[in-house]
């Protein structure tokens, strides 16, 4: 994941299909499932379109492999980024960035305990 204005702050694996914001749930501090719209209050996430499936925000469940804080975000000359949190870096212009991130986030290549073997 690339934080705009900072750099890469994490790598993870998408674990499901995109879900409209009004149907997406997160776990709160007590571990209960709560609508994302009830928890994510520091940004608009286009709430004016929350019932419009063509214009609302969509989220995907991600299993984070490794993350760092904004103060440790990774940005190097030549790294390619995307404004979307989730993308499939398969084109040649991504190769340098993926290789560097695999070096900087060594857990990337380790099997996840939740993945199928």
Let me know whether 24 and 4 are in one domain: no
Let me know whether 22 and 55 are in one domain: yes
Q: What average pLDDT does the chain have?
A: 86
CB-based contact 69:10 (threshold 8 Å):
no
Task: Summarize pLDDT for 56-98 with one digit per residue, the tens.
Answer: 999 999 999 999 999 999 999 888 877 666 677 778 888 888 8
Residue 117 within any structural domain of the chain: no
Residue 108 within any structural domain of the chain: yes
User: pLDDT-based confidence at 2, cuts 50/70/90?
Assistant: confident
Task: Summarize pLDDT for 77-86 with one digit per residue, the tens.
Answer: 888 877 666 6
Query: How far apart (Å, rounded) are the C-alpha atoms in residues 58 and 23?
Result: 9
Task: Summarize pLDDT for 103-114 with one digit per residue, the tens.
Answer: 999 887 765 555
Residue 75 within any structural domain of the chain: yes
Contacts of the segment 85-94: beta carbons below 8 A, 24+ positions apart: 85/1, 86/14, 86/60, 86/62
Give the phi and the psi of residue 106 in degrees, each rounded to 5.
Answer: -60, -20
Residue 47 within any structural domain of the chain: yes
Let me know whether 7 and 22 are in one domain: no
Q: Quote the pTM value.
A: 0.73
Residue 26 within any structural domain of the chain: yes
Give all strands (DSSP E) within the chain, no chain letters: 2-3, 7-8, 10-14, 19-20, 25-27, 33-35, 58-59, 62-67
> What range does the domain containing 51 cover?
18-59
Residue 95 within any structural domain of the chain: yes
**Domain tally, the chain:** 2
């Amino acid at each position: 994941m690339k934080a705009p204005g900072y750099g890469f702050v994490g790598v993870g694996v998408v674990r499901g299909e995109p879900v409209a914001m009004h149907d997406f749930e997160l776990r709160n501090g007590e571990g209960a499932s709560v609508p994302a719209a009830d928890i994510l209050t520091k940004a608009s996430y286009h709430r004016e379109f929350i019932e419009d499936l063509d214009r609302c925000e969509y989220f995907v469940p991600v299993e984070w492999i490794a993350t760092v804080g904004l103060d440790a975000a990774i940005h190097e000359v030549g790294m390619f980024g995307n404004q979307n949190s989730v993308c499939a870096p398969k084109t040649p212009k991504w190769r340098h960035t993926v290789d560097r991130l695999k070096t900087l986030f060594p857990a990337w290549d380790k099997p996840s305990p939740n993945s199928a073997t």
